A = this chain, B = another copy of it.
Amino acid sequence: MAESFGQRLRQSWARSDSALCVGLDPVRERLPSHISQAPDALLHFCREVVDATADLVCAFKPNIAFFNAEGAEEDLERLIDHIHAAHPGIPVIVDAKRGDVGSTARMYARELFERYNTDAATVNPWQGWDSIAAFSEHKGRGVVVLCHTSNPTSAWLQEQPQHDPAYLKVAREMQSRDVDNLALVVGATFPEQLAEVRRAAPTLPFLVPGVGAQGGGADELRQVFASGVDENGQGIVVNASRSVIYAGTGKAYATAARQAAQDLRDQIRRARDRRQT
């Protein structure tokens, strides 16, 4: 990998003209019954969804928790191999939210970047720069730092103190460190805070959860783009997981996922293009 994660993401935005990232959160009990009992059901399901949506997305985000819970690490390895081989140029962001320091952080970085060969991973900043450094040192890989998450209790630590909240400290610190491999998780469910983060971090890409199954709709999307894009009108990766991958329940689940992804991509495009009006 010659270029940086930032470069690969910008190329992917340009090629796909899409800010949609499909999150891959496979729960065996929710898979179509004709595949749910297969030993490699998680791989099979995700691979079909990936192949049905690859031309509609700027990134894929497999969530490692869903594979770890099943003991399906090999499925995740093979899924990422498949994305790289069949859809080269689409960055893979493993949602791992790992957070540790020193030799332990180096082990997690080795797990994510070498074993799983992901382009980027989500990382938790609670322990300070120590917990980012081991990931950031991997040349060409990306580190997506939890800045302001989309869940209801996120403000408890992230928005303290009011006059200089932790999420803005995180944004400023990552902006100041940027070597074109850092990005921020900023939830669509907190639009004012998202605008603040963009002011604090003018060039970092945002991975934006909280759209779709988590509740955000067209209004949230417009606000995300109105205040969140970078100076090139880019900088946004909108993640949707369950609303896409579980759009259908029967044998035609991949077709249903494609339709849901296409609708959402178009909705995101409209939000992007109308942000000025």
Contacts and interface: CB of A to CB of B under 8 A. Distances in A.
Contacts of A63: 104, 107
Given A129-B156, A130-B152, A156-B169, 6 more contacts: A27-B107, A69-B111, A69-B115, A130-B151, A156-B173, A161-B163
A169 B126 CA distance: 14
A80 to B, nearest CB: 14
Interface of A: 25, 27, 63, 65-66, 68-69, 71, 73, 95, 97-105, 107-108, 110-111, 114-115, 124-131, 146, 149, 151-158, 160-161, 163-164, 166, 169-170, 173
Contacts of A69: 107-108, 110-111, 114-115
Nearest to A65: B107
A1 B103 CA distance: 33
Number of copies: 2
Contacts of A103: 25, 27
Given A157-B166, A170-B157, A65 B111 contact: yes
A69 B104 CA distance: 10
A35 B56 CA distance: 49
* Interface-centre pick from A63, A153, A164 (highest chain B CB count, 10 A): A153
Contacts of A100: 65, 97
Given A73-B71, A129-B153, A124 B107 contact: no
Contacts of A114: 69
A149 B99 CA distance: 11
A104 B68 CA distance: 11
A107 B242 CA distance: 15
